[in-house]
Structure 1
Amino acid sequence: MNDRYSRQILFPGIGKEGQEKMGRKHVLLIGAGALGSGNAEVLARAGVGKITIIDRDYVEASNLQRQQLYTEEDVAERLPKAAAAKKRLTAINSDIEIIAIIGDATPEVLREKIVGVDVIIDATDNFETRMAINDVSQKYSIPWIYGACVGSFGMSFSIIPGKTPCFNCLVRTVPLQGMTCDTGGIISPAVQMVIAHQTAEAMKILAEDWGAIRTSFVSFDLWRNQYTSMKMSKAKFSGCLSCGENRTYPYLESENMTKTTVLCGRDTVQIRPSTTGEISLEQLAGQLSVLGYIVKGNPYLLSVEMGKERMVIFKDGRALIHGTKDLTHAKTVYQRILG
């Protein structure tokens, strides 16, 4: 092992043995936005052997204020965040393996990608995906680390199957559903604080220092100088369908995942097709250009301008309809373009 991780190895909580363990471990990162890009960079620099990133979006100018992996060039090229993250992380540490998945973290995808994973990090922006992460974590006994932030406020909790309350238990005690950047903007220091909590917990798990894992639920408000740590042992619910005595893992059922979603903090609706399979972006671009649409693209997506609205289409048939929060209207636009 070279000098790259020498300062980390000197830290007693990791040492040479812990560093070697981290180098053999696999992290599944859900989301590559503010929390995701920060988590990914810290863990890549720390020498985690394999990082799989799942994200459905692409880089926009408004991301640059807090999403530390991305550049103005990524914005100009409209690169998917997962692809842009892989490019940057590989430049940071070429010794580790980075897998980029451009798409939704659906139950099917989570079940497929969970194989061989040592810890899941939540960096998503919606409640539905977190519930699916929670169920796949409980079903396959994989720890996951919850994190969320909005404004100057943030929170984090480490969920260890069989030991801590699960996320489904947690929402019965702590009001988590209101966490959205739609409500009050966000400042970068709050993001960095959550990242610090998440990556520290991830490194404890990866180095197998189980006794050091924080068992409390942490929340803070950097602007109001508030910090709270709550014990959550009593939050565990025996009747929980995700981790209780008669668990059914309801959020791994595809019918419980919506096909249309209004994206956090944006006049944008995502639509997922009911069937899976790739489409030919090159062929579609030709067809739409003939019809008079302004079409731009890269190997990952097409951007189609339609008056005041713009539609971005990915290889898997997913589409982002910009300029509206109206689900019915978004579906109409989707049908008009993709049928």
Structure 2
Amino acid sequence: MGRYSRQTLFKHIGVDGQRAITKRTVVIIGVGALGTVSAEMLARAGVKKLILVDRDYVEETNLQRQSLFTERDAVNQTPKVVAAKERIKEIRSDLAIETYIEHCDAQLLLSIAAGADLILDGTDNFETRLLINDVAYKLGIPWIYAACVESTYVSSAFIPDKNTPCFRCLIPTLPTTTLTCDTAGIIAPAVHTAVSLQISAALKILSGGEIIKPSMTMGDLWQNEHMTIGTEALIHDECPTCQTKEFPELNRTTHRQFSLCGRDTVQIIDDRLTEQVVAKTLTERSIEYKETPYFIEFHYDDTRIVAFQNGRLLVHGIMDVNKGQTIVNQVFG
């Protein structure tokens, strides 16, 4: 326990709590600003295993706040989960890390979360958070929400229990904004504050030493505002997740085409477009492309397209899903 002596000395964790932490597995959905900071904190705290899921690769604009990445990662367009794993292994060589360069859907999340002790939200959209919420309550696994934009932050932990509200119950009371980091910007302290709240709750859960009361903490660092509100009374009696157990997000048809939040990018999923099919088609059509160990990148007219190995494509520079599908059809038929 020498490595974790300062954490063990903390009276709310102690030797027993640290031993419990070293047996835990945590799933992190989204390895961007929130996910990189939380992954590093948990690695340093001594968890047994991290499972990282992210569909994107590192770009130069990420470096301002996504703390595990370097300029080399941006130049090489390294998938975020790959770059994160490389850095974390330099911090903790004994840590087990499982990675998925995937879009997080119900099937994937149910399979990887089944053996986990906790799920952390590192996403940027409510749709995926509702999915995490349904999976967590179906499997009986705690999860912790976090979000930030501009200089604001918010976090809340959810423990599956019919006597406490879930994320779906709280949606009417969450801060309402259409802003994203890509449209309104963000400062790194907001990220670290959101994650500090998230990981503080995580350590309480993972060490097993303290009951977490239903609450939500939010604030604005620029305005020096910070508050915590109790959420015990916000249970929705007919909530299809925590009360009636219908789990609507698990029964929802997975979208094969959609735009990414604030990114001017459309994602298209077509299982037929494997790496071999993409390379063969581009070669036959004399379209130049760059191949990495993880994806193929090429341009069609003025559009940049990144094709991953599993039939998932990112069509950059557009927001219209139909236009994105049309471009893919023009290239591949």
Structure 1-normalised TM-score? 0.93
CA distance in 2, matches of 1:69, 1:221: 24
Report the CA distance shift for 1:187/1:336 in structure 2 as closer, same or farther (over 3 A).
same
Query: Pairwise mapping of residues 53-202 of structure 1 onto structure 2 (< 5 A)?
Result: 53-162=52-161, 163-176=163-176, 178=178, 180-202=180-202
Instruction: Indicate the SS of the match to 1:302.
Output: strand
Structure 1 gap segments, 5+ residues each: none
Picking from 230, 248, 265, the partner of 2:246 is 248
> How far apart are the structure 2 equivalents of 1:227 and 1:153?
10
Q: Classify the secondary structure of the residue corresponding to 1:320.
A: strand
Task: Name the counterpart of 2:312.
Answer: 318
The match for 1:37 is: 36
* Deviation (angstroms), 1:335: 1.9
The answer as to 2:321 corresponding to 1:335 is no
Counterparts of 2:127 and 2:175 in 1: how far apart (Å)? 15
1:259 corresponds to which residue?
A: 256
Question: Helix, strand or coil for the counterpart of 1:336?
Answer: helix
Code of the aligned partner of 2:305:
M
TM-score, normalising length from structure 2? Answer: 0.95
Q: What is the alpha-carbon distance in structure 2 between the residues aligned to residue 108 and residue 294 of structure 1?
A: 35
Cα distance between partner residues in 2 of 1:214 and 1:243: 16
Which residue of structure 2 aligns with residue 270 of structure 1?
Answer: 267
Q: How far does residue 182 in structure 1 lie from its aligned partner after superposition?
A: 4.0
Residue 79 (structure 1) shift: 1.0
Q: How far apart, CA to CA, are the structure 2 residues paired with 1:108 and 1:193?
A: 31
Shift of 1:247: 2.3
Aligned length: 332
Q: What amino acid is aligned across from residue 208 of structure 1 in structure 2?
A: G
Report if aligned partners of 1:149, 1:155 keep a CA contact under 8 Å in 2.
Answer: yes
Distance 1:175 1:189 in 2: 19
Aligned partners of 1:134 and 1:166 also within 8 Å: yes
Are the counterparts in 1 of residues 130 and 168 from structure 2 also a CA contact under 8 Å? yes
Of the three residues 300, 321, 327, the one matched with 1:306 is 300
CA contact (8 A) 2:281 2:332 kept: no
1:59 match: secondary structure = coil
Identity value in percent = 42
